[in-house]
Structure 1
Amino acid sequence: MKAISKLALALGVSMLLSTTVHAEDKTFKIWWYEDAASAAGITWKKALETFQEKHPDVKVQFELKTFDQITKSGTMILNSVEAPDLMEYNKGNAVAGLAASQGLLTDLGDVAKQRGWDKVLSDASNQLSRYDEKGIYGNGPLIGVANYGEFVSVFYNENMFKEAGVEVPKTLEEMEKVMDVFVKKGVTPIAEAANDYPAQHLMYLFALSKADPKWVNDFQAIRTPLDTAPFVYAGQKLQEWVKKGYISKDSTGLKAPDMANLFETGKSPMVVTGTWYGAQFGAIKNFKASQFLFPGNVISPASTGNIWVVPKNAKNKDLAYDFIDITLSKDNQALFGNSGGLPIAADPAMVTDPVGKIEVELFNKLVAQNGLGFYPDWPVPGYYDVMLKATQAVIGGSVTPEEFAERLKEPYDEVQGDQ
């Protein structure tokens, strides 16, 4: 009897442990940092609902992070046992490339072929999802999956433009004349935020106006010491625009939500930002918002969107792959476009939303003119903070344009010399 009891007890403990492990295996952890009102936030929430319907026995643990959290702590998170099964990650050498070079991300090459992602996404769409052993984009293992596109443009208040008697500018000179009209009315034309990423986009637009595709490729791939001439010009224009009242010096203390609020409440008729704000601005009730490409530029900050990555330490990789499947489905991609976003693999006929249609049209124009300039903080690890502080300083007037450019050159050339 004692032997039987011991056997029963052992079997019971074994079954309990098995059940515990099984329960843990049925938890899917996913993180992203898109606002709930954004096209990505709306679409991925729907994807989670679809995922739950397909996996009723799985417990979903979703956590909303911030861009800063992932950018600054991403590698520590990925290298820990707390890493989720799937997370949104910023592309580029400084973030995704760094994590890939440290072996923290799962190679998705074989999975992409098995699940048909390679049929949905072109080689060009996967360019920012591949990184070599040094963490430089364009080649190497596939460590991420993009499912949308994005670009920086000028959103504007159609009502305020009409009341001021101005039209959408086609050149930078015309844009400055439009802004002069608003300045005379006591209105700051462009809502800006230099205590966050937005001001870097305006700065980079100025730099790209003096650049060509070769400069962009050399800059992003860290091929040569930094040619600072475009950045000196960018610093000059930022200070000129502050002096003329086109952007506020007070923007040095503002973050992206503050900037968006200035535009949404009609305090500024324009805001220079990305398509991730398309859904939010398209939902404004008290005026009609539309957008145009930064006038005079052939190249703009633009790329495929942030990528889904599966940490090497992820416990439920198959569930992560199932979720990616859903986000790349025709229905989910159409929802992305009809929520004011820019889908990467949608059937154009299924996108009927006015904002989505405009964004697809403008993005296609950028692609056709070889105008995808990527983003300025990508090349070097830690460059985001360097660029944020330098841009703040040049807008605030505490450094000269030349000193601003030198702040960007020093850490860049240090990494470039190691290539």
Structure 2
Amino acid sequence: MVRSRGTAVLAAAVLALSALSACGSGGSESPAPSGTEPRVLKLWHYESAESAMGKAWAEAIKKFEASHPNVKVEFEEKGFEQIQKTASMVLNSDEAPDLMEYNKGNATSGLLSKQGLLTDLSEEATKRGWDKLLPGGLQTTAKYDDRGVMGSGKWYGVPNYGEFVMVYYNKDLFAKHKVEVPATYEEFTAALDTFVKAGVTPLANAGAEYPAQQILYQLALTKAQKPWMESYQLYKGKVDFHGPEFTYGAETFADWVKKGYIAKNSAGLKAEDMGVAFMKGEFPMVISGSWWYGRFASEIKDFEWGHFLFPGAAMSPGSSGNLWVVPENSENKDLAYDFIDITMSQDIQNLLGNSGGVPVAADPGAITDEKSKELIETFNKLTAADGLAFYPDWPAPGYYDVLVAGVQNLINGSKTPAQVLDEIAGPYEDNLADLGN
């Protein structure tokens, strides 16, 4: 989740930074004396093994252990929700890992930095050249001020890929129902109507986790301009939750459920349920992030698929990728810094790019996979237009759960859009008051 700010540099990051190779690309630790106990780097992340990031980080572990012969990486895969809900408690204990992937933004990494749970990486960022590999907008989610607000202050994390929300579509189902890839919002809703008339629910969805709230936010963005997004995400102005943006998002989301665009039983589904259903060919489309791209490329065997940006919106949810953060209680901070270095090295970045990810320091000439090229081209198009709008849950601590409850109420029809907007406005305004805004 990123940006007020120079987000167009993100587009250039994939290409313009190709001349740079990651500094410190393998760690400089000397082998420990013979007979000493091996050191352990405790690493947590929540990328699936078949995702682009999962493949890249697995290779990074191999490279790290090869270059650190007396160090063993103790990797634990954690669920996104698991880390999201327990990070403050775990990092305030002796159970904290040495290095962890964590969600970026004010409500997550910003909150932990304000609580004193994350290590200040500013000196390492300069020494190891991360500040040069991650210029401008790419640093937005890496830095947090004393209030925990992103965009300035000290480095508390290091992102090493980009991400954004798009529409994935099943080309075979589009052809079967004679649906063309929509270029406008009107064409998009007409396509949704075509599938519904054929008895097909057009959009896979998951109301129990992040996907549904990102759809609501994307709908709001169709009525939004950049100043509105900056007011919402960066507190640069007052946000009217009953203004045209959120009103359209909530009312249209509820209407999409009534029209059958979104299944009424999706309120309790999780992101994994949604993604698997799309991979099985059960839905023509899914609106979700680039983090699925590598997995779709690896696992979809029975149909052709593609993607396009959400029609009718100048902005889409997106940002730099999640952050590597080093807990303040880490016992092996030097090893954590070395591992981050390896993930920023050009060979790992190239692997990330060829596996369906959006690297920030790859060699463009080394990206040979056609699907991966398509993804990076779309990301470049979006960022060149300064179109990354962060994510809806970023502005306030605990806001993720507030939004999950809100969209579930819209799917179930248990509350009106106006009531839901009142409920999501309250915690947002309370957070502003806590920040002194």
TM-score range, shorter chain: over 0.9
- The match for 2:272 is 257
Structure-1 separation of matches of 2:348 and 2:69: 20
CA contact (8 A) 1:30 1:84 kept: yes
Any conservation in 2 of the 1:146–1:305 contact (CA below 8 Å)? Answer: yes
- Which residue pairs with 2:196 in the alignment? 183
Name the stretch that deviates more: 346-355 or 190-199: 346-355
Checking the alignment, whether the CA contact within 8 Å between 1:225 and 1:413 is kept in structure 2 is: no
**Structure (1 or 2) with the larger CA radius of gyration:** 1
Equivalenced residues, count? 400
Q: Contact between 1:85 and 1:310, CA under 8 Å: does it hold in 2? A: yes
Equivalence for 2:218: 205
Which one-letter code corresponds to 1:203 in the other structure?
L
What is the rounded CA distance, in whole Å, between the counterparts of 2:320 and 2:383 in structure 1? 11
Query: Where in structure 2 are the equivalents of 1:147-186 lying within 5 Å?
Result: 147-186=160-199
Equivalent position SS for 2:411:
helix
Task: Report the secondary structure of 1:410's partner residue.
Answer: helix
1:71-106 Cα offsets, whole Å, 9 max, x none, are 111111111111111000100000100001111111
Q: Which amino acid aligns with 2:358?
A: L
* Corresponding position: 1:112 with 2:125: yes
* TM-superposed deviation, 1:225: 4.3
- What are the equivalent positions in structure 2 for 1:122-161 lying under 5 Å apart? 122-161=135-174
Aligned to 1:374: 390
CA positional deviation for 1:363? 1.0
Question: What is the TM-score with the length of structure 1 in the denominator?
Answer: 0.93
Q: 1:245 aligns with which of 231, 236, 260?
A: 260
Output the CA distance in 2 between the equivalents of 1:306 and 1:342.
12
For CA contacts below 8 A with separation 6 or more, give which structure has more relative contact order.
Answer: 2
* CA distance in structure 2 between the aligned counterparts of 1:261 and 1:114, rounded to whole angstroms: 43
Q: CA deviation digits over 1:297-345, x for unaligned, max 9?
A: 1000010000000111111111111111111011101100110111122
Say whether 1:278 aligns with 2:298. no
Q: TM-score, normalised by structure 2?
A: 0.89
Preserved contact between residue 226 and residue 412 of structure 1 (Cα < 8 Å): no
Unaligned 5+ runs, structure 1: 1-17
Alignment root-mean-square deviation, CA: 1.5
Offset of residue 417 of structure 1: 2.1
What is residue 406 of structure 2 aligned with on the other side? 390
Moved more, 409-418 or 94-103: 409-418
5+ long unaligned stretches in structure 2: 1-31
> Are the aligned partners of 1:30 and 1:86 in contact in 2 as well (CA < 8 Å)?
yes
Percentage identity across paired residues of the two chains: 51
Q: Could you say what secondary structure the match of 1:23 adopts? A: coil
| 2:357 counterpart letter in structure 1 | G
Q: Please list, as runs of the form range in 1=range in 2, the aligned pairs for 1:20-419 lying within 5 A after superposition.
A: 23=37, 26-228=39-241, 229=243, 230-283=245-298, 284-418=300-434, 419=436
Output one character per residue of 1:333-380: Cα deviation in whole Å (capped at 9) or x when no partner: 110011011112212211122222112111111111111100010110
Alignment-derived partner of residue 24 in structure 2:
none
1:10 is matched with which residue?
Answer: none
State the distance in 1 between where 2:384 and 2:238 align.
29
Distance in 2 (alpha carbons) for counterparts of 1:157 and 1:148? 26
Query: Are 1:37 and 1:279, in contact at CA under 8 Å, matched by a contact in 2?
Result: yes
